[in-house]
Amino acid sequence: MIVQLADVSFAYSGSEVFSGVSLQVNPGDRLGLVGPNGAGKSTLLRLIAGELEPDRGQVVRARGRTLAYMHQSQEFHGHGTLWDTLLQPFADLLRMRQELQELEAALASASGTEAEALLSRYGPLEESYRRQDGYHLEVRVRQLAADLGFDEGDLGRPVGTLSGGERGRVELAKVLLAGADLLLLDEPTNHLDVEAVERLEARLASWDPHRAFIVISHDRYFLRAVCADILDIEELRLVRYSGGYDRYLEERQARLERRVAAFERQQEQIARTEEFIRRNIAGQRTKQAQSRRKMLEKMERLHRPHDEWEAAGRIGLRFQMAEQRGSKEVVRAEGVELGYADGPALVRDLDLTIYRGDRIGIIGPNGAGKTTLLRALIGQLQPRRGTILLGHEVRIGYFDQRLSGLDEERSLIEEIRSIRGDWNEDVVRAYLARFRFFGDEAFRKVKGLSGGERNRLTLAKLMLQPRNLLALDEPTNHLDIPAREVLEGALCAFEGTLLVVSHDRYFLDRVVTRILHIDPATGRVDAHVGGYSDWKARVTEEQRQQQQEASARPLTESADPKQQRLAEYRARRERDRERERRQRQIARLEAEIAEAESAVARVRQALGTDHGTDWQRLHALVEEEKALSHKVQQLLEEWERLQQA
């Protein structure tokens, strides 16, 4: 056990956040914490970390276990250069290195008893230093920095010159480097580009099995890739689901349906009992009616389950299509080069035609020029070379990821009326309610809004004017999963042209049919048909083929034709054997999966029966169901890996 929460309750200023929450985090746990914005996810991490104390209950942290916490607020602690800051978690290891160097210098001139004394200190110290992998410290730090998007030149930058997003990446790097027994990661993929997110996924997927992590994220692909279990905040409590994110979605819906059915059965029973009491309280069956009345008084009443996800998804997003459809060619770019001042070109030699109805996603690493390209395509930036022409009657709606179109001193009502001055206050408040701004929230100032609230207000304004081209720069930033799903549905229903910059791979797969990838090394923009997953599969296959060609090239150049044919035959035979071996493994796994799923079904059926007061048997069945579900998930992951191979 690393951390245990026992019957924890917590409230802010009388507003209850948690009631009776229990949780145990063990070594090897990979937990995803999900829930709509405002459900209390960050509060739970702060309780675990000891930054908040529960009103009731206990939070127990195992003695000797360490914890590292990355806050969503990007709290930054650093000094000197980026390199100095990244080495901060290793202060003890660096002091150990310094002492080893001093001992080595002293040993060079020591002899006899003095040398023996120095060696007796040096041996255990060097063993501890080696056990903590001190000899590879710089290599590990450089590798992680590169994974998070920092190149060698960045390491010497003063931390005072880092942007907010870069500081967030530094804090993430420090937490990952700390080697703690439990990681608490609050929105770690914020400010990471797609490539960095995928490298983080790979790192967490291979995390030390003796350590654990809890991660808050709205990135559904990320949750799917790294989390074995999901924690969902449900009506002030915490529900744990085994089997990963996809299994969680199925089980949460099934659980909700069971709870609704139980509530409705109880309501029917109450109605029948009350009718019996009404008809018999004054008759011959008075005693039976009185007995049933007492039973009703003692009955623990169920309440109708409240689906926080469904409530959070009640956002009235619908983008209006302009009456003019616009020309067939919406944007045409010829020989375009983009860049700023005398700096290097971000985009070179771009020739591109965007047709009416195209749904295009723009991707690439941070700094590659995605926003620059988007703004140039809609006429907000002039190219350094070449021409960009907008089609006739193109009506553009632009979503700026900086949300700069909001006036900090205006109220929400004033923001909406800046576009629809003909609406009275009641109409505006009804409209704002469609975006989860209820009651007096309509009078709040923009400067007091959270990131997610600013995003929703910007989308509300964008919807008020009909458009036939939507240009959206990171529209899912700060949105929770229910809001992202609503946005995806609204964009899928939009009949115009779509240009979108996004790091959300799930979002891209849902809404775009064409990908533009910017290569920062060359400035070239490559176009691919399909969504993000199609682009990724294509690029991965191309890289694999290039590696195969590179490995085969020396053989082709040096061997004579007979030897070359013999080598090709042997390679084919080996591939065939490997394929047959994998097919046998797949067949074996499918049989094991079927057997394990049958066992899970039997245990769940047993769980559904009445156990009376036999809590020991009930606990054993719950543990057995958890173990079997985990086994099924492992078998499915192995099956999927072999299928891909």
Give the per-residue pLDDT at 644.
Answer: 64
Picking from 102, 175, 169, 179, the residue whose alpha carbon sits closest to that of residue 134 is 179
- pLDDT tens digits, residue range 177-214? 888 999 999 999 988 888 889 989 998 998 999 999 99
Q: How far apart are CA 203 and CA 188, in angstroms?
A: 13
Rounded Cα–Cα distance for residues 48 and 50 (Å): 5
Query: Bigger pLDDT: 308 or 67?
Result: 67
* Architecture (CATH level 2) of domain 3-98+131-247: 3-Layer(aba) Sandwich (3.40)
Q: Is the pLDDT of residue 566 over 90?
A: no
CA separation for the pair 298, 294 (Å, rounded): 6
Domain boundaries, the chain: 3-98+131-247, 258-312, 329-539, 580-644
Q: How large is the average pLDDT for residues 464-484?
A: 91
Please tell me the least confidently modeled range out of 337-346, 358-367, 405-414, 516-525.
337-346
CB 172 within 8 A of CB 148: yes
Enter the CATH code of domain 329-539. Answer: 3.40.50.300
Looking at residue 554, what is its pLDDT? 57
Distance CA 78, CA 149 (A): 18
Residue 612 has a pLDDT of 58
User: 329 Cβ partners below 8 Å, 6+ apart?
Assistant: 353, 354, 355, 356, 391
Instruction: For residue 558, name the pLDDT band (cuts at 50, 70, 90).
Output: very low
pLDDT (average), residues 90-116: 84
pTM of the model: 0.76
Q: How far is CA 413 from CA 420, 427, 439, in A?
A: 10, 10, 11
Mean pLDDT calculated for residue range 243-258: 92
Is 3-98+131-247's fold the same as 329-539's? yes
Strands ordered across the beta sheet of 3-12: 15-25, 3-12, 56-61
User: What share of the chain has pLDDT > 90, as a percent?
Assistant: 43
The mean per-residue pLDDT over the stretch 595-615 comes to 69
Q: How large a percentage of the chain has pLDDT more than 70? A: 90
Q: What are phi and psi of 287, to 5 degrees?
A: -60, -40
Confidence of residue 359 (pLDDT cuts 50, 70, 90): very high
pLDDT tens digit string along 408-431? 999 999 999 999 999 999 999 999
pLDDT at 451: 83
Residue bearing the bigger pLDDT, 343 or 17: 17
Look over the chain and give the mean of its residue pLDDT values, rounded to a whole number. 86
Is the predicted pLDDT of residue 247 greater than 90, yes or no?
yes
Residue 248 has pLDDT above 90, yes or no: yes
Per-residue model confidence as pLDDT tens digits over 46-101: 999 999 999 999 999 999 899 999 987 655 566 788 888 888 888 888 898 898 88
